[in-house]
Amino acid sequence: MANPCSWLVVSACLWVVVCWGNVLVGQEMHQYSFEQPQMGTLFRLEFYAASDRLAQQAAQECFARLDSLNATFSDYDPNSELSKLQYGKQTVSQDLFVVLAKAQEIAQKTNGAFDISIGPLSKLWRRAFRQMALPAKQKIQTTQSSVDYRQIQLFAPNVVYLMKPGIKLDAGGIAKGYALDEMARILRKHNITAYLLDGGGDLLLGNAPPHHDGWQVKMPITQRNGEIVYQDTIAKNCAIATSGDTYKYLEWEAKRYSHLIDPRTGFGVSHRRMVSVHAPTAMEADVLASAFCIIKKENLARIKAKFPSANIQMIE
């Protein structure tokens, strides 16, 4: 029997191609799908539940949780909890503390390839992409000087110390994965265990759909003549994230700069790479897909060994 959905895994900022299945006639469990835009992308829920009422309630709780997390992590909203962090010590929510703790762990293990203090550079490069013009080198260097994850310290319970004025955080590349994990937790609370959650290309899979071995996912496997080649894969009970510069980049003076910025140089990376990560949680898959797009080739094997629970595949 064919799988009920076919999902195309792409960069976290891109659309996902799906084919929604029909309700399984005569079965106790029924298939439901919901979607809502948030965090600058589209979130989709696909799951099996015993009744319309249960499905509606679970979806509403998931999206309410998503809205609350956006109010915590958005760096576009000046009133978000993340945006309001400033120089000095402050007590933060459990959600923000958990994400900051994971971000700092990944920063240390990747030697700063992922750095949540990249906020000033993110804003600079967003403007560059809108204007389709490379920022001045001096401006990049000045902005980069305020980026340093080592100037963030965490203390239990839920205390953050920003040690340097001017530090601004950007949770892109990690908060979306955390949101998927939280929505899955809500579904499991309602005894909904067969699900596929999609946040702009980041996927979190639960148990297989009824009468199937898993969810059908299209994964990138190689490049041919500059085009990505995909292959159908069956997966369940894992998170999958894919990132790269295939669709979002800036070309300037015959050089290509990715939207993925190296926090240590201030520039968008210029090497061509797509990274797919299978991991136990969506937050880990999300952040590692971003980090491994940035890590230099000669350091990949050594840093990859620090993450034994993740399957990290790279296409260059």
Output 116 or 15, whichever has higher pLDDT: 116
- What the block records as the tokens of 263 is 């926090």
pLDDT at 85 over 60: yes
Write down the pTM of the prediction: 0.89
8 Å CB contact between 144 and 118:
no
Please give the pLDDT value at position 247.
Answer: 64
Please give the pLDDT value at position 8.
Answer: 42
Instruction: Output the CA angle 167-251-267, nearest 5 degrees.
Output: 25
pLDDT at 126 over 80: yes
Mean pLDDT across the stretch 292-302? 94
Please give the pLDDT value at position 115.
Answer: 98
pLDDT in tens, 38-60: 999 999 999 999 999 999 999 99
Calculate what percentage of the chain has a pLDDT beyond 70.
Answer: 91
- As a whole number of angstroms, the distance between CA 32 and CA 14 comes to 23
- What the block records as the tokens of 184 is 């899955």
| 246 pLDDT tier (thresholds 50, 70, 90) | low
Residue type, 179: A
Please give the pLDDT value at position 13.
Answer: 30
Please give the pLDDT value at position 123.
Answer: 95
pLDDT at 245 over 60: yes
CA atoms within 13 A on the CB side of 226: 1
8 Å CB contact between 203 and 197:
yes
pLDDT at 184 over 50: yes
- As a whole number of angstroms, the distance between CA 172 and CA 3 comes to 32
Please give the pLDDT value at position 249.
Answer: 82
Please report the DSSP string for 137-159 in residue order: HHHHHHHHTT--GGGEEEETTTE
| 226 pLDDT tier (thresholds 50, 70, 90) | low
pLDDT in tens, 204-216: 999 999 999 999 9
Mean pLDDT across the stretch 105-123? 97
pLDDT at 316 over 50: yes
Range of lowest pLDDT (3-12, 199-208, 272-281): 3-12
The rounded mean pLDDT for the chain is: 90
Range of lowest pLDDT (11-15, 226-230, 269-273, 285-289): 11-15
- What the block records as the tokens of 102 is 């994971």
Q: Which is the CATH superfamily of the domain at 1-76+170-316?
A: ApbE-like domains (3.10.520.10)
